[in-house]
Amino acid sequence: MTELSAAQREELEDLLLDLQHDLGKYIRLPLSFLPAEAATDEVRAALCTALVETRRSPRGVRSARAIWDAFAGEAREHLTSSPAYAALVQTVERALAWERALGGDDDIDRPRLERELGAVTPAIRAVIEELHGEA
């Protein structure tokens, strides 16, 4: 992680907390509402909501990719040497790769899907913890 001033550290933590809320929470939420026996079409619809309509607010709807791209655009330069950030990037890329499943009709490996989407929040927390460790 690059050397940060107190103000930069605080701003970065705010960005990470927003990411945890807007991406980490909402990317897994639609699937958590489905019953265990949900049909593939229901899982795919929940996945679509998770990835395409991730965050709804009075300001509109944002996709998971838009949320991630906005965060990365603001924070990347301060986190390039962070091992936790490198792991977060890989975790988010795995989650976003599920976009491929939106247009198909194949069965979806729901346990894997839930595991990969659910891994985003802990990966964000790891970056926050790393940030605190350098304080």
- In-domain check, residue 72: yes
Range of the structural domain that residue 100 is part of: 6-133
Classify residue 91: in a domain, yes or no.
yes
In a domain? residue 50: yes
Per-residue H/E/C for 27-92: CCHHHHCCCCCCCHHHHHHHHHHHHHCCEEECCEEECHHHHHHHHHHHHHHHHCCCHHHHHHHHHH
Residue 97 lies in a domain: yes
> Going by C-beta distance under 8 Å and a sequence separation of 6 or more, which residues neighbour residue 26?
50, 54, 55, 64
Decide if 99 contacts 53 (C-beta within 8 A). Answer: no
Residue 129 lies in a domain: yes
Q: pLDDT by residue (tens digit) across 35-53?
A: 999 999 999 999 999 999 9
Q: Domain for residue 30, yes or no?
A: yes
Domain-located, residue 1? no
Q: With contact defined as beta carbons under 8 Å apart, do 66 and 55 qualify?
A: no
Quick one: tokens of 49?
């909501």
> How many domains, the chain?
1
In a domain, 67, yes or no: yes
Residue 119's pLDDT band (boundaries 50, 70, 90)? very high
pLDDT band, very low/low/confident/very high, at 1 (cuts 50, 70, 90): low
pLDDT tens digits for 55-87? 998 989 999 999 999 999 999 888 988 999 999
